[in-house]
Structure 1
């Protein structure tokens, strides 16, 4: 994939006087196995300045996962305290485990004009939009069909039959919330889905409301 043509323009807009903009939160949601993490990772690989939101979780680390890189791993009691005191901008329980987003890094990135991508579920999307209503642009990723989704889950060879059945049941519930999102795509051809996600991100970056210095620039045209 060739480098995105707008990367240089985005970097300059962060530092050029009068053209600074506020960052955007791109939320990508989907049922497990539909491709949200793959799409989010492709965006990060194509655009190194795109900030990753590192979540807090109560589950144990998997082999190869590093604290502060993949997740912040916390005990259930610590997680509950963070949620209670407002340290998490969104959080939810998924398959009996807690997942949430720390507030401070998100607010710092947005204020600095840096964009963030989140691969979270519909509950997290609701909370994040409620917390930062002017900063969230959301994308829901659908599989081509439920049988294809199930085949993808089985192809991972990471879960037993009972876990796959639980994920399929959760997928039906997740999909029922697709209308809550700003954009929706069907991930039938991965490269096309990635391109559509990048188009959503780029459009959000140049939205009029995000261009904090544009009014002053235009006044100077007179």
Structure 2
């Protein structure tokens, strides 16, 4: 498993523009496979099971965790998220380049498991205030969930310099070009 395929992890606080940037990267780098995590959170409007996430019950998640089916897992914002060990092993062994969208805990697990084979890109908002405005603008959060995400984001931002690359998403086009340059360097 360790001598084929590239592993690229993107980590960012909720609302930092990560999903928008990943969508553009996937459109540009068509051979990248994105790992689809398992989660116990409810699907948002427009999300498709098996494409955005594998939406499962908490009991099914805990059963899979007990069976050691996850490479990494975490409880984030009150919901479980995990990466299928079988998916990663199968795709890396085929030489496919994999893109992962993980939280801090999952990213740390990947770095521990893969070491320098996992290249990690942290996407940061220009400020906590900008992040709060983006989250409020989505209109998908209750005040309670918004406050949880903001508190988590403040802790996550303390880690922004702990990874291989940092992209500040102050202006989307510049952030995308910075991210594209990083991907080109990794995939060479």
Structure-2-length-normalised TM-score: 0.91
Partner of 1:37: 19
Structure 1 runs (4+) deviating above 6 angstroms are none
C-alpha offsets along residues 146-172 of structure 1, whole Å, 9 cap, x if unaligned?
111111111111113232222111110
Pick one of 121, 126, 138 that aligns with 2:103: 121
Q: Which residue of 2 aligns with 1:101?
A: 83
Structure 1 unaligned spans of 5+: 1-20, 207-222
Residues 179-218 of structure 1: pairs in structure 2 closer than 5 A? 179-206=161-188
Aligned length: 186
1:1-222 matches, within 5 Å, as 22-206=4-188
CA distance in 2 between counterparts of 1:104 and 1:35 reads: 29
C-alpha spacing 1:60/1:148, structure 2 compared with 1 (3 Å): closer
Compare CA radii of gyration and give the structure with the larger one.
1
Bigger shift: residues 81-90 or 44-53: 81-90
Q: Within 1, Cα distance between the matches of 2:59 and 2:25?
A: 34
CA distances 1:178-204 after superposition (whole Å, capped 9, x unpaired)? 232111111111111112222222222
Distance 1:64 1:185 in 2: 27
CA distance in 2, matches of 1:173, 1:92: 16
CA distance in 1 between counterparts of 2:172 and 2:47 reads: 25
Q: Find the residue that maps to 1:188 and give its secondary structure.
A: coil
Question: Take 1:96 and 1:52, find their aligned partners in 2: how far apart are those partners?
Answer: 24
CA RMSD of aligned residues (A): 1.6
C-alpha distance in structure 2 between counterparts of 1:117 and 1:155, whole Å = 27
Deviations 1:95-141 (A, max 9, x none): 11000110111122222221111111110101112222243100111
Work out whether residues 40 and 118 of structure 1, in 8 Å CA contact, stay in contact via their aligned partners in 2: no
- Identify the residue that residue 212 of structure 1 maps to in structure 2: none
Scaled by the length of structure 1, the TM-score of the pair is 0.78
In the alignment, the residues of structure 2 paired with residue 93 and residue 191 of structure 1 have an alpha-carbon distance, to the nearest angstrom, of: 32
2-side partners of 1:135 and 1:120: how far apart?
16
